[in-house]
Amino acid sequence: NAGVTQTPKFRVLKTGQSMTLLCAQDMNHEYMYWYRQDPGMGLRLIHYSVGEGTTAKGEVPDGYNVSRLKKQNFLLGLESAAPSQTSVYFCASTQALLSGNTIYFGEGSWLTVV
């Protein structure tokens, strides 16, 4: 998955703790996304950004916040983690949602909230 790096890859949190997932891309892409993937649920869009300084809510934004202060970085924050937020989180980026543009995904971040 060239160009999209997620950190950390694994994390265990206690209920109520906060944390930030970092997504970094070096392809100068405009669009960036945060998804969560749960068994049998496919990928669900949490938040996305269509450019530096912009963010928008996806399908399941509650309990998460995001920031895109720099074009190459898209941060996903959990202010007060809950067990329901145990999931695999994927970041993705693309220049635009057009034919011929590849959408690149990171390798995923496994988060467990106990």
- Interface residue list for other proteins (CB under 8 A): 1, 4, 31, 33, 35, 40-45, 48-50, 56, 58-59, 90, 92, 97-108
- The count of residues in the chain is 114
- Measured from the CB atom, the residue of 15 and 28 that comes closer to other proteins is 28
- Measured from the CB atom, the residue of 17 and 50 that comes closer to other proteins is 50
Helix (H), strand (E) at residue 53: none
Which residues fall within 8 angstroms of residue 5, CB to CB, at 6 or more apart? 23, 24, 25, 106
Measured CA to CA, the distance from residue 114 to residue 103 in angstroms comes to 33
The least distance separating other proteins from the CB of residue 1, rounded to whole angstroms, comes to 5
Which residues fall within 8 angstroms of residue 28, CB to CB, at 6 or more apart? 71, 72, 95
- Measured from the CB atom, the residue of 17 and 88 that comes closer to other proteins is 88
The least distance separating other proteins from the CB of residue 15, rounded to whole angstroms, comes to 26
The least distance separating other proteins from the CB of residue 62, rounded to whole angstroms, comes to 14
- Measured from the CB atom, the residue of 14 and 99 that comes closer to other proteins is 99
Measured CA to CA, the distance from residue 7 to residue 61 in angstroms comes to 20
